[in-house]
Amino acid sequence: MVQKPLNYCRAIVIVHGKSELLIFNYIKSSLHLTIKSFSKNNGNNSIQITSLTNVLNSNEFLEKKNLSKFGYIESANNKFINFKLFIIMDTDDCTKAQKEAYINKEMFKNHWLYEYIVPIYNINTLEEVVKKVGLVSKEIKSCDKINTYIKIFPPTNKKEVTVDNIEEIKQHADIFRNEQNTNLEELFDYCLECVQAKK
């Protein structure tokens, strides 16, 4: 009898750029979850809202069997179980109509992954959001982005999930929860739920 893998892939996160990828790495390393990222050139080139249709129609996301490259996703009756496709985007590089269609999921209505997609928005940019919530005191310069985000969202090398890791993730979720220009807390909350489910 063939055993099914126990460590299912719980999420794929499409990231806008390097800063969002660093947040992803922070969550993944802190909670030891099997979540996968999708970026352009390891986040060194950005993915915009205007190019998401092309991304979702690329080979990686074209049909169910193609997602196997990201890992084994639990499924039953031809439906994924406990799985989400998060997309983290800035909203400053598209029209107002495109921004609204992204946030309300209208732009994904014809894609087979529609029910699993969770659009994460930062209005207008992630940099503006982290400043508004008080994680930085001044505007982040382009040359300082990587070092700044590593300080705010430090990845860990700990081999096990600790209470401190979980509490820190909860604190970040609550910080973003109080800011109307983002819904980043949804990513943090979901990953925390996945950790609780593993216990």
Mean pLDDT of 112-124: 98
Q: Measure the CA–CA gap between 32 and 157, rounded to whole angstroms.
A: 10
Mean pLDDT of 39-52: 97
Q: What one-letter code names the amino acid at 149?
A: Y
* Nearest-10 crossing angle of helices 18-31, 145-152: 20
Note whether 191 and 169 are within 8 A (CB).
yes
pLDDT band, very low/low/confident/very high, at 1 (cuts 50, 70, 90)? very low
Shortest CA distance to 60 belongs to which of 85, 43, 38? Answer: 38
Query: What pLDDT digit, counting tens, does each position of 127-182 carry?
Result: 999 999 999 999 898 889 999 999 999 999 888 999 999 999 999 999 999 999 99
Instruction: Using the predicted structure, report yes or no on whether residue 111 has a pLDDT greater than 50.
Output: yes
Instruction: Using the predicted structure, report yes or no on whether residue 107 has a pLDDT greater than 80.
Output: yes
Note whether 22 and 146 are within 8 A (CB).
yes
Query: What pLDDT digit, counting tens, does each position of 56-104 carry?
Result: 999 999 999 999 999 999 999 999 999 999 999 999 999 999 999 999 9
Instruction: Using the predicted structure, report yes or no on whether residue 6 has a pLDDT greater than 60.
Output: no
The overall pTM is greater than 0.85:
yes
Q: Measure the CA–CA gap between 93 and 155, rounded to whole angstroms.
A: 29
Q: Measure the CA–CA gap between 32 and 111, rounded to whole angstroms.
A: 30
The reported pLDDT for the residue numbered 199 is: 59
Note whether 38 and 12 are within 8 A (CB).
yes
Note whether 152 and 136 are within 8 A (CB).
yes
Tokens 């979850």 appear where?
33
Q: What is the CA 22 to chain-centroid distance, rounded?
A: 10
Q: Is 63 left (phi over 0), alpha (psi -120 to 50) or beta?
A: beta
Q: What one-letter code names the amino acid at 184?
A: L
